[in-house]
Structure formats: structure tokens, C-alpha cells
């Protein structure tokens, strides 16, 4: 399985900053090992600039942090999958914890978006993960089961497995410096794989499961080597090309 190294820039970077960071990243990652690819996920306004910075470098892709599940219409402030594809973006996130917990997106809406984005031709990364109080209450399995079942409810069973990835991002590890330990990551990723197999059968083994939450240059190698970890989704440590290139080369 090709490992995916994704940079989620969140609400950071102007067009000029995005282009420069993308250019630097491509240059610093020239020795990208085989079997790896890189995805940069800037704000909408910097998608084209990021694409320009990548300059056609092989195995580098762009993606969006969000989209609305409709082709067009009266949805003030929203962006359609076709508009993203038009910038050259090929991936998009759904269900990121900040969309769920800051912007109030519910499981059913995340599911609607995931299915719509895939049908529209995007590769979708569905993000799931438990809050600290849910973990403490022993609800890890319950939360992941709900988020995955509802998040994938409308995805056709014959979806191209490479088009859908899951990102396990424990909410308590996002932007906090608290990385999940190897045992916690292994446990969650086995559970995610099992749920995917229940839904899709054997092709689920070809779906990537990424880990996200305080991935840094000094812990990336250990995380990426774990069973069932097919990539990483990186926030804070992806903003500087120097840091993120050390992660993609780790």
C-alpha cells in the first residue's frame, strides 16, 4: 500500500506563503522514498497557488479541507467538489474534528458529504476520533463504530478502495502535543480496519488508514512503521516545509 503523508494547513497561509512552502517542500523532499506520496491541504483560497508551487512534481497532490455536498446552487459561502477538481485538487477531508466540534457537523452530514465527494470524483479522507471524556468513559469502540458506520453509510460497496481513506485522529491529541502511544494507535487502527472489512469485505484491506494528532519529525518514523498505519495527517508540523519534509522522509 502506498503511504500517504498529508499536510493539513487549516486556516493558515496566504497564496504567496502557500506557493513558497509548496516549492520548498518539493525541493526538500526530492529524496521521497518509493511507496510514499504527499498531499497538501491548504485553505480554498490557496489551492491554485499550492498547485503552482508543486509545479507538477510527481507523487505530490493537493486537496481541500471541506466542501458542500451539492453540484451548485444557493449555498452562500460553500464550495462544490467540481470547483475543487477545477483547481487540480484531487482529495478532500470530511469529518475533521474541528468541523465536527467547532462547526457543529453531525455524523449524518459527514456521511452525506463523504458519499457525495466520492461520487463527484474526489478521493475522500474521512476523519474519525474520540474526545478525551469518551476515551475515559471506555467509549472508543462505540464512537469509532458510530462515526464510521454513519460516515460511510451511503458509500457504494463497490467503491474503488484506493479512493477512500480513514484518518484516526483522537481529538485529545490534535494540536495538543499529546501524541497517542503505539498501543493506542494499534488498538484504534485494528478496530477501524475491522469496521471497514465489515462494511466493504476484502477490498477494505486496500483502504488507507492514517493516524493524525501531534505527529512531529521526531515521532513520525515510529508511527508510520506501525501495523495498519498507512500514512499520517499532520497539522501544526506541516506548516513549515523543513519540518514536514522531515516527516515525509522519516
165 sits near ligand PGA (criterion: CB under 6 A): no
Q: Give whichever of 167 and 196 is closer to ligand PGA, judged by the CB atom.
A: 167
Instruction: Report in angstroms how near the CB of residue 217 gets to ligand PGA at its nearest.
Output: 12
Three-class secondary structure of residue 229 per DSSP: coil
Q: Give whichever of 172 and 200 is closer to ligand PGA, judged by the CB atom.
A: 172
What separation, in Å, do the N-terminal and C-terminal C-alpha atoms of the chain show?
A: 17
- Which grid cell sits at 59? 507523487
181 sits near ligand PGA (criterion: CB under 6 A): no
117 sits near ligand PGA (criterion: CB under 6 A): no
Q: Pick one of 128, 234, 241, 247: the residue that binds ligand PGA (CB under 6 A).
A: 234
* Residues in the chain, total: 250
- Pairing mode of beta strands 3-8, 208-212: unpaired
- Which grid cell sits at 21? 512552502
- Which grid cell sits at 185? 494507535
| CA nearest neighbour of 244 among 60, 91, 56, 98 | 60
Backbone angles phi, psi at 238, to 5 degrees: -100, -5
Q: Pick one of 233, 241, 247, 248: the residue that binds ligand PGA (CB under 6 A).
A: 233
- Considering only the stretches 65-73, 74-82, 147-155, 213-221, report the one whose residues sit in contact with ligand PGA under the rule CB under 6 A: 213-221
169 sits near ligand PGA (criterion: CB under 6 A): yes
Q: Give whichever of 8 and 29 is closer to ligand PGA, judged by the CB atom.
A: 8
- Residues facing residue 3 across a β-bridge: 36
Three-class secondary structure of residue 56 per DSSP: coil
| CA nearest neighbour of 16 among 62, 56, 53, 61 | 53
215 sits near ligand PGA (criterion: CB under 6 A): yes
Instruction: Report in angstroms how near the CB of residue 234 gets to ligand PGA at its nearest.
Output: 5
Size of the site for ligand PGA (CB under 6 A): 13
Q: Is 96 a catalytic residue?
A: yes
Residues lying near ligand PGA in the complex (CB under 6 A) are found at 8, 169, 174-175, 212-215, 233-237
For the annotated catalytic residues, the residue numbers are: 96, 169
Amino acid at each position: 500500500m502506498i503511504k500517504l503523508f498529508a499536510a493539513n494547513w487549516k486556516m493558515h497561509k496566504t497564496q504567496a506563503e502557500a506557493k513558497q512552502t509548496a516549492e520548498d517542500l518539493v525541493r526538500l523532499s526530492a529524496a521521497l522514498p518509493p511507496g510514499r506520496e504527499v498531499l497538501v491541504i491548504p485553505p480554498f483560497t490557496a489551492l491554485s497557488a499550492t498547485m503552482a508551487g508543486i509545479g507538477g512534481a510527481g507523487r505530490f497532490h493537493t486537496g481541500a479541507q471541506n466542501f458542500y455536498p451539492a453540484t451548485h446552487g444557493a449555498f452562500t459561502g460553500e464550495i462544490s467538489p467540481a470547483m475543487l477538481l477545477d483547481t487540480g485538487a484531487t482529495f478532500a477531508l470530511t469529518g475533521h474534528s474541528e468541523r465536527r466540534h467547532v462547526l457543529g457537523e453531525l455524523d449524518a452530514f459527514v456521511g452525506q458529504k463523504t458519499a457525495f465527494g466520492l461520487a463527484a470524483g474526489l478521493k475522500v479522507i474521512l476523519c474519525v476520533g474520540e474526545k478525551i471524556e469518551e476515551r475515559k468513559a471506555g467509549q472508543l469502540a462505540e464512537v469509532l463504530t458510530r462515526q464510521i458506520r454513519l460516515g460511510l453509510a451511503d458509500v457504494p460497496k463497490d467503491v474503488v478502495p484506493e479512493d477512500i481513506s480513514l484518518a484516526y485522529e483522537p481529538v485529545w491529541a490534535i494540536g495538543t502535543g499529546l501524541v497517542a502511544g503505539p498501543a493506542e494507535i494499534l488498538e484504534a487502527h485494528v478496530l477501524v480496519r475491522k469496521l471497514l472489512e465489515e462494511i466493504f469485505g476484502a477490498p477494505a484491506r486496500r483502504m488507507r488508514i492514517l493516524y493524525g494528532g501531534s505527529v512531529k519529525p521526531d515521532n513520525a518514523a515510529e508511527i508510520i512503521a506501525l501495523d495498519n498505519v498507512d500514512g499520517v495527517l499532520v497539522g501544526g508540523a506541516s506548516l513549515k516545509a523543513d519540518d514536514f519534509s522531515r516527516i515525509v522522509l522519516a
